[in-house]
Amino acid sequence: MKKKGLMPVYQAMLLLFTLFLASCGGQGGQTAKDNGSEPVSDPKLQVAYQRILVLPVDIGAKLAKDYPQAAADCRQGLIERLTETKRFQVNPIDAVPAKAIEHDTLIAKLVITDMRITSKAARFWGGPMVGSSYVNLKMTLTDSHTGQMIREKEFSTYNNAMAAALMAGWTWNSTDASIPKDMGSIIGDYIIAVVPQVGSPAK
């Protein structure tokens, strides 16, 4: 009798695990605009920048209070993604240089405009009912030599609430907490795509 009573529970767990694999099989449970995994349709920049200065990520006071690590994680994701290509000399800076005279140098600035990150506890107990987590931000790229802003673009990314809930249920983890850093990496992919390599013409 006990064995028979356990069958519906086992079948339900198997079904949930199958749904989890299906949810995570496409894009890791996340979607984003211009996420670097697809060709970027935006035109390339006119200069083959070899050095990128990364400013601190701006975030409103309320969001910073609710998510104190988000800005730092986002910046870290951007720096790590740009660095690992070995195409650029990447330097974090605290402020725009007083004398912006460097040639072939790009200044990257990110501003988190809105976000929602579901806590592990809420995701574990509430599952997909607590909704998706997301980050919206604005990126600006400025030529350090001329001081001219050469690209401005808005990005957004969100996770799959079902996939995050299943991950939390199986491992007490979820895909929610990594979204700010993932967003930084997405911006890194975009910059890599639009900055022409040295010796190649801008298109």
- Smallest CA-to-CA distance from 167 within 203, 133, 144 is with 133
Please list, in sequence order, all residues whose beta carbon lies within 8 angstroms of the beta carbon of residue 126, skipping any fewer than 6 positions away: 118, 165
At residue 72's C-alpha, the angle toward residues 141 and 76, to 5°, is 65
Domains of the chain: residue spans and CATH: 2-37+47-194 (3.40.50)
- What is the helix (H) or strand (E) element at residue 20, kind and residue range? helix 2-24
- What is the helix (H) or strand (E) element at residue 62, kind and residue range? helix 61-66
* Cα gap 151→57, rounded to integer Å: 17
pLDDT in tens, the chain (203 residues): 444 444 444 444 434 443 433 333 333 333 344 433 446 789 999 999 999 999 999 999 999 999 999 999 999 999 999 999 999 999 999 998 877 667 899 999 999 999 888 755 444 434 444 456 788 999 999 999 899 999 999 998 754 434 433 333 333 344 567 889 999 999 999 999 999 997 665 55
The alpha carbon of residue 15 and the mean position of all alpha carbons in its chain are separated, in whole angstroms, by 30
